[in-house]
Copies of this chain bind each other. A is one copy, B any other.
């Protein structure tokens, strides 16, 4: 599913896989409308209007407003998971992989903050089945991050008394970037990513030079 170009781009083209064009335009319009007014205050008529289409044209692609939210939430979570998984599967020490995972996860939440806000704040608006699917994706995100931290603990690189709680805090810190990040703010997504990678290595008590630690054993 993911091309080399997408990986190089941190998966920053969230809707690239959505076809045809009209279905993609409707998703983009729905994200904007939900972000501005909230899910419950938005009608399918509003969304169709933003996309320059008639309500009847919308129904060809999406049967309900909830289907639009579900699609947005699923793609948003899948892309965030892909970004994290790519970093987790990379080469290097646990510290290097954790730093890369945090930096790329933060860049995603900064660059795609509008999508991320909708995905995070409107979770309760999903129906039971859609919600269960999204929660399963969130468990996978959690497992990827926890896996790197567990690797670091096992290798003696990290000192983490509470792995589950620390994983939760690390992901929470990264996700909340979507709430406060402003495009006209003082820091770029790359700068926030670099700062957060450093802070997270401190949170897990990473040894400054893991390679020299390995040499001692």
Residue with the greatest number of chain B CB neighbours at <10 A, chosen from A40, A165, A199 = A199
Is residue A14 within 8 Å, beta carbon to beta carbon, of the partner chain? no
Q: A37-B40, A120-B179 are in contact. Are A172 and B173 (CB under 8 A)?
A: yes
A203 neighbours in B (Cβ, 8 Å): 199, 202-203
Complex interface bits, A170-190 against B, C-beta within 8 A gives 1, otherwise 0: 001101110110000001000
- Across the two chains, which residue of chain B brings its CB closest to A159? B202
A172 neighbours in B (Cβ, 8 Å): 173, 176-177, 179-180
Whether B165 pairs with A187 at a CB distance below 8 angstroms is: yes
Whether A179 pairs with B180 at a CB distance below 8 angstroms is: no
- CB proximity of A51 to chain B, nearest CB, Å: 20
A179 neighbours in B (Cβ, 8 Å): 120-121, 172, 175-176
- Across the two chains, which residue of chain B brings its CB closest to A38? B38
- Across the two chains, which residue of chain B brings its CB closest to A120? B179
Measured CA separation A39–B165 after assembly (Å)? 32
In-complex Cβ contact of A195 among B36, B41, B165 (8 A)? B165
- CB proximity of A62 to chain B, nearest CB, Å: 20
In-complex Cβ contact of A40 among B41, B173, B192 (8 A)? B41
Complex interface bits, A189-217 against B, C-beta within 8 A gives 1, otherwise 0: 00010011011001101000000000000
